[in-house]
Amino acid sequence: MLPGFTAFGPAAALESQGAAAAIWEDPKPPKHCDKCIPIRTDTSCILVSLWCTDVFWCCDHEESRTPYPCGVCFGADW
């Protein structure tokens, strides 16, 4: 573009958006490990319902899933 002249139109708009996008672009999020290995199932007895919670090893930490009813029992875990 020549000094003293302004450009109008789609090309000029894309050019200015590209510069702004490069400045304000968010850094890429860290890679997330999507490999989870089941390691155990924790159980809990509440009155007559047995609840199971699956525990997985994901990269460098344990991750528990939502408890679900998985059987019948008598008593309570404290």
**pLDDT per residue over 24-56, tens digit each?**
555 554 556 678 899 999 999 988 999 999 999
Domain that holds residue 51: 10-76
Stated pTM of the model: 0.52
Whether 15 shows a pLDDT value over 70: the answer reads: no
Is the residue at 3 inside a domain?
Answer: no
Residue 32 lies in a domain: yes
Per residue, the 3-state secondary structure of the chain, as one string, reads CCCCCCCCCHHHHHHHHHHHHHHHCCCCCCCCCCCEEEEEEEEEEEEEEEEEEEEEEECCEEEECCCEEEEEEEEECC
* pLDDT recorded at residue 66: 93
pLDDT, the chain, mean: 74
User: 29 vs 68, which has greater pLDDT?
Assistant: 68
Task: Say if 67 falls within a structural domain.
Answer: yes
